[in-house]
């Protein structure tokens, strides 16, 4: 492993929300049903932009506790799911097994994925980019996703132009506590994908100004 690779791996290993223990993974499954439904609708709309006959294999990175992997498998995609947290990986394996979905699920460092270039037809990265405050880390993440995704990348990000983001900034100003969700403009996200020769195909918003979560779909140029 190179020195730069060690630095990237360290960045992920220090990521405090990795679902490395069973309690953390279980708590993450206890999301509000309404919030889960909204987010899955966003994913469904994003994948609706992809040509069905051109996408068969999908990398879910990170998979968390498997909710996207489950949906992808139910849609007929061949799923490969990765996450740094062992508990999250185990939870995903159990969830997919109970649903009779055959998938490759393993613990991997998302900055150094063990896959060949263009191994998948598409990659999805949901609710991760905003956890990195350094542009270099965000660019490294996107570069690795684009490397293994042959044609498409579906990625979520947090918009700075939302009530939720403004509320977080106000809370930081009043309490002094750092913001764990780092927002990006769509232009910033596009520039990072431009550097990897991917162009914007479309976007999905949960709502206009109220919610910060956005999803963007990129296609290899």
Q: What are phi and psi of 185, to 5 degrees?
A: -75, 160
118: number of Cβ within 10 Å: 13
Q: Omega into 62 within 30° of 0, i.e. cis?
A: yes
Higher-pLDDT residue of 33 and 21 is 33
pLDDT score of 71: 97
Domain ranges of the chain: 3-220
Q: Residue range 27-37: average pLDDT?
A: 72
The pLDDT value recorded for residue 59 is 98
CB 17 within 8 A of CB 64: no
Binning the chain into helix, strand and coil, the percentages to the nearest 5 are 45, 20, 35
* Model confidence band, residue 84 (pLDDT cutoffs 50, 70, 90): very high
Output the pLDDT for position 15. 46
**Mean pLDDT, to the nearest integer, of 213-221?**
96
Give the C-alpha separation, 154 to 220, whole Å.
12
Per-residue pLDDT tens digits for 134-192: 999 999 999 999 999 999 999 999 988 855 655 555 555 556 666 567 999 999 999 99
Q: Are strands 120-125 and 149-158 parallel, antiparallel or unpaired?
A: parallel
What's the pLDDT band for 74 if we cut at 50, 70, 90? Answer: very high
Q: What is the mean pLDDT of residues 7-26?
A: 46
Mean pLDDT of 205-209: 67
Spatial separation of the C-alpha atoms in residues 93 and 86, rounded to whole Å = 11
Instruction: Name the least confident of 5-14, 76-85, 134-143, 172-181.
Output: 5-14
Please give the share of the chain, as a percent, with pLDDT higher than 90: 67
pLDDT of residue 82: 98
pLDDT of the residue at 34? 86
- Which pLDDT tens digit goes with each residue over 87-127? 999 999 999 999 999 999 999 999 999 999 999 999 999 99
Query: Which pLDDT score, from 0 to 100, does residue 3 have?
Result: 32
CATH code of the region 3-220: 3.40.50.150
Under DSSP, the state recorded for 60 is: E
186: phi > 0 → left, psi -120 to 50 → alpha, else beta; which?
Answer: alpha
């Amino acid at each position: 492993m190179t020195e730069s690779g060690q630095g990237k791996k360290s960045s992920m290993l220090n990521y405090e929300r990795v679902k490395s223990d069973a309690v953390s993974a279980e708590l993450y499954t206890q999301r509000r049903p309404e919030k889960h439904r909204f987010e899955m609708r966003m994913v469904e709309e994003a994948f609706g932009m992809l040509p069905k006959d051109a996408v068969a294999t999908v990398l879910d990175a990170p998979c968390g506790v498997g909710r996207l992997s489950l949906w992808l498998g139910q849609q007929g995609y061949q799923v490969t799911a990765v996450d740094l947290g062992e508990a999250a990986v185990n939870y995903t394996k159990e969830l997919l097994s109970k649903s009779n979905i055959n998938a490759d699920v393993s613990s991997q460092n998302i900055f150094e994925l063990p896959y060949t270039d263009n191994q998948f037809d598409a990659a999805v990265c949901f609710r991760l980019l905003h956890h990195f405050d350094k542009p270099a880390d965000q660019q490294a993440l996107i570069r690795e996703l684009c490397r293994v995704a042959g044609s498409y990348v579906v990625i979520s990000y947090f918009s700075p132009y939302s009530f939720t983001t403004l509320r977080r900034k106000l809370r930081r100003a009043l309490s002094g506590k750092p913001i764990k969700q780092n927002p990006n403009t769509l232009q910033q996200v596009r520039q990072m994908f431009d550097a990897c020769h991917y162009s914007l195909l479309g976007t999905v918003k949960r709502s206009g100004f109220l919610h910060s979560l956005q999803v963007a779909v990129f296609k290899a140029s």
